[in-house]
Amino acid sequence: AEIAALDAERAHLFGLQFITSFGDIAETVRAINFDARGLDWFEAPREMLNKPPALPTEAWDELDRFERSEPVLRINGWFMLTPRGPIWSKGFAESPDGLLDASLPGLLEATGTRAVVAGHVPSADGAILSRAGGKLFLIDTGMAQGGKGSALVFSQGQIEAMYADGSRQEMSGS
C-alpha cells in the first residue's frame, strides 16, 4: 500500500510536470509542497510527519489533494523505510539459505511480487548474485568502494547482469 501510494502520487506530480520520472523522495515531497500550497497540513508539528499514515483505500483519483498528499508527507514513518523494513534490512543478503527459502515465498505472495532486488551489502566478488532459486537478486557490486558499475536488466522474460567493462552474465530467475 505504501509503494502504491507513492507511485500514484508520483504519477500525479509527473503529469503536472512537477517532478522528473527518475527523481527521489525529497523531490516528490518538494513537489507536493508546491502543488498543495496553502494546505494547513504543512504547518503540522514535525512529529506528525514521522507518524505512519493511514493509507487511503478509496480510488486515488477521487481523493482530494490533502488526502493524497498526507500519506506521502508522512513517509518517514513508513514501514518500508524503517531499519527492519524491506529497503534497509540486510536480512536478504545475510540470511542462511534455509531461512531465506522458508520466508521469502510468503513475502512475495503478500506483496504480489515475483522477486526481490536488494542492495546495501556489497558482494565479495563484485558480481550481482541470485539466491533462492532466482527469487532474490543482490545487486550491490561495491561501486562505492571502487567496484565495477553494474545493472540488472529484465527484458522479454530474460534476466541479465551487465557490467561497465562490457561483460554480461545470464541470471536465473522467476
Tell me the β-bridge partners of 131.
Answer: 136
C-alpha cell at position 22:
527518475
Three-state DSSP state, 112: coil
pLDDT digits (tens, 9 = 90+) for 124-158: 889 999 999 899 999 999 988 888 899 999 999 89
Whole-prediction pTM: 0.63
pLDDT digits (tens, 9 = 90+) for 53-104: 556 555 656 666 667 777 777 777 787 777 777 667 778 788 899 988 888 8
Q: Positive or negative, the Cα torsion across 1, 156, 105, 137?
A: negative
- 8 Å CB contact between 19 and 31: yes
Distance between CA atoms of residues 70 and 84, nearest Å: 23
